[in-house]
Structure 1
C-alpha cells in the first residue's frame, strides 16, 4: 500500500463515501477496523485494493484530500491591484461572450425546436474556466460578476460553474462534472418556455414572487424529455428544487430518491439565488 511521506504539501480535505472514491486520491486519517486495528493508514493512496479493503470492513466514509484545480506557479506572489483588475476585465469580457452564446443556444432550443447539443452548449464555459487560475479564483470572479449580471442567462452560467466546483470537490469524474454543467445550463430553461409570447423581458428576480415559479421545472422537463440527452440531466431539470426532507417541488421526493446531480444543483442554485444583487 503506497503511503505519502509526511511533510509533503497538502490540500483541503473532506469526508467522502467509500463508493465515490477514485484511484489516486489521498486518505487523510487512520482508518480502523471494528476491532481497533488500523486497516488503512493516514496518507495512503486510494487504489482498487484499498476500496475493496474498506468495503470488506464495512467502512462507510473516509477523509480524503480533494483537488482544488489550483495551477502551480513558480512564484506564489500576490497579484498587484492593476493585474487583478485586468484579470477581472478579461473574465468579464469572456463572461459576456458566454452569456450571449448560451442565450442564443437556449432560445434556439425553446423557440426554434432545436435539439440540445451538449458539446456546443458547454463550449462557452470552457473559455471561462481557462480564464480562472484555480477554483478559488473562479468563485471570486463569479461573485464579482454578480454586481453587473443578475439575469437568467448569468444565473444559468453561475449555477453550472458553481455546480462544477461542488462536483469536483465531491470527487466526480470529468464526465460527471460535464453532466453537472450541462444540467446547470438547462435547469431553468422552463422559464423561457413560460415566457413565450413576449414576456421574456420580465425581471428574472421577480419570478421568485410569481405563480409561474413552481411551474418552470415541469415546463423545462417537458421541453427536453424527448431529446437525445442523458436521462440524469433531464431528471435534474425536473428535480433541482426537491429537498431531502420532502419540502421541495414538484414531486416532494425525499432523501436518496433525489439524484446526486439534483442535489448539487440545488446547492448551487440556492447559493446563487441568495447572493444575487
Structure 2
C-alpha cells in the first residue's frame, strides 16, 4: 500500500525500506511509525512510502505532530493558574512600588509551579493564543515573556534548571515599569521626547529593584539589557554584539515576539506569520541571529495542520515545514500538494490559528 507521507499516521508499519533522493537509507522495513518517525521522513523530503495494509478501513488522518495540538483538558486546568500568575505579577509590581523590592519567595511560589504546568506542552503558538486576553497587558506580557524565555532557552540547549532561571528572568524583565506612570505606559498617541525618555529608564529601575531583591545576577542583567540591540541601537547603554549577555538576547527575542502578537492601546494584534518574518528581518541587525533562528525553527512546526490563505486566493493546510526556508512550507490545496520553495510567485498571506 503506497501512501504520501502526509497521509501517514502513528502505528503504520513500513512494508519496505525507505531511502531519500541521495539513496541514503532512512528507515528500515517493519518500522512501526511514531510521530518522530513521520517527521524524520518529511525532513528527508521523502514523498511516498510503502506501508502494510491497515487493520481498519478508516482513512488516514493528515499528519499532525506532537506540536500541532493542545489538550482542551490541559487548557481548562492551566487557565486559572495563568490568571493567578498574571494577578500575582500585578501584586509584585505594587510591592516593588511600595517597598522598592520584591520577595523572592513570592516570585518562586507563583512562577515555578506555572513552568511545571506547561513543560509537557509544545504548541507555544496555540497556547499563548488560548491563554491570552486583551486585559492587563503589562502583566500578561511579563508572564508570556517568562514562558517564551523558558522555551527558547530549552531549545537553545540549556539544561532545565538554567531554563527555569532564564524563564524567571523573562518574567521579571519589565518590573521597572512599576515606576513609570500608567498614563505614559498606556498612552495611545505618540510619546513626547520626555515621555519616551521616562520609558527608557525602566531597565535601570528594574535592575535596581532586582538587585535589592535577589542574589542571582542573571535576573538583574536581563532586566537591564533586554532593550539593548546587537547593532548598538538599543538602550539604556547602547551595547553592541557580545557586550550583551546571552540571557538578555533570549529575553529580547521573547519580549519583541510577545509585544508584536499582543493587542495594545496603540497597536492591533499582528498576524503571526508577519511577526516571525519581522523577527527574522530584525535578526540581520538588531536581534541575535542564532537565537532568532532557533526560535523560528521551533515555532514554525506549530503551523502544521493550520489553515492558510494564499496570495492566489486559495485556502489550504500546511502539512510540512522546510528546515531552512522557514516561510515556504508544503501546503495542501484541495487534492494537490504545493511546495512553496518551488513556487516563488505564491505566498501565504494569512495563517488561521
Following superposition, the deviation at residue 142 of structure 1 comes to 1.5
Q: Which residue number in structure 2 is paired with residue 29 of structure 1?
A: none
Aligned length: 204
Within 5 Å, which residues of 2 pair with 1:1-277? 7=27, 10=36, 84=72, 86-117=73-104, 119-132=105-118, 134-195=120-181, 200=182, 204=186, 206=188, 209=191, 210-211=195-196, 212-277=198-263
Following superposition, the deviation at residue 116 of structure 1 comes to 3.8
* Cα gap change, 1:232 to 1:120, in 2 (>3 Å): same
Partner Cα distance (2:187, 2:82) in 1? 20
Structure 1 portions without partners, runs of 5+: 14-69
**In 1, are the aligned partners of 2:92 and 2:102 still within 8 Å (CA)?**
no
Partner Cα distance (1:208, 1:116) in 2? 35
Q: Which residue number in structure 1 is paired with residue 333 of structure 2?
A: none
Following superposition, the deviation at residue 186 of structure 1 comes to 1.5
Following superposition, the deviation at residue 101 of structure 1 comes to 2.0
Once the two structures are superposed, residues 53-88 of structure 1 have per-residue CA deviations (whole angstroms, 9 ceiling, x without a partner) of xxxxxxxxxxxxxxxxx79xxxx9x77xxx62x543
Once the two structures are superposed, residues 68-121 of structure 1 have per-residue CA deviations (whole angstroms, 9 ceiling, x without a partner) of xx79xxxx9x77xxx62x54333322111111223223322331244441x531
**In 2, are the aligned partners of 1:214 and 1:249 still within 8 Å (CA)?**
yes
CA RMSD of aligned residues (A): 3.4
The TM-score with structure 2 as length reference comes to 0.50
**In 2, are the aligned partners of 1:151 and 1:204 still within 8 Å (CA)?**
no
Partner Cα distance (1:194, 1:206) in 2? 15
Higher strand share: 2
Higher relative contact order (CA 8 A, sep 6+): 1
Describe the SS at the equivalent of 1:107. Answer: helix
* Cα gap change, 1:203 to 1:216, in 2 (>3 Å): closer
Following superposition, the deviation at residue 215 of structure 1 comes to 1.6
Structure 2 portions without partners, runs of 5+: 1-24, 40-65, 264-353
**In 2, are the aligned partners of 1:241 and 1:249 still within 8 Å (CA)?**
yes
**In 1, are the aligned partners of 2:115 and 2:164 still within 8 Å (CA)?**
no
Describe the SS at the equivalent of 2:106. Answer: helix
Partner Cα distance (2:250, 2:242) in 1? 13
Describe the SS at the equivalent of 1:142. Answer: helix
* Cα gap change, 1:139 to 1:218, in 2 (>3 Å): same
Partner Cα distance (1:208, 1:237) in 2? 24
* Cα gap change, 1:207 to 1:252, in 2 (>3 Å): farther
Partner Cα distance (1:208, 1:130) in 2? 40
Q: Which structure 1 residue ranges, 4+ long, deviate > 6 Å from structure 2?
A: none
Following superposition, the deviation at residue 248 of structure 1 comes to 0.7
The TM-score with structure 1 as length reference comes to 0.62
Describe the SS at the equivalent of 1:136. Answer: coil
**In 2, are the aligned partners of 1:167 and 1:180 still within 8 Å (CA)?**
yes
**In 2, are the aligned partners of 1:103 and 1:153 still within 8 Å (CA)?**
yes
Q: Which residue number in structure 1 is paired with residue 318 of structure 2?
A: none
Partner Cα distance (1:202, 1:89) in 2? 35
Following superposition, the deviation at residue 265 of structure 1 comes to 0.5
**In 1, are the aligned partners of 2:147 and 2:171 still within 8 Å (CA)?**
no
Following superposition, the deviation at residue 204 of structure 1 comes to 4.4
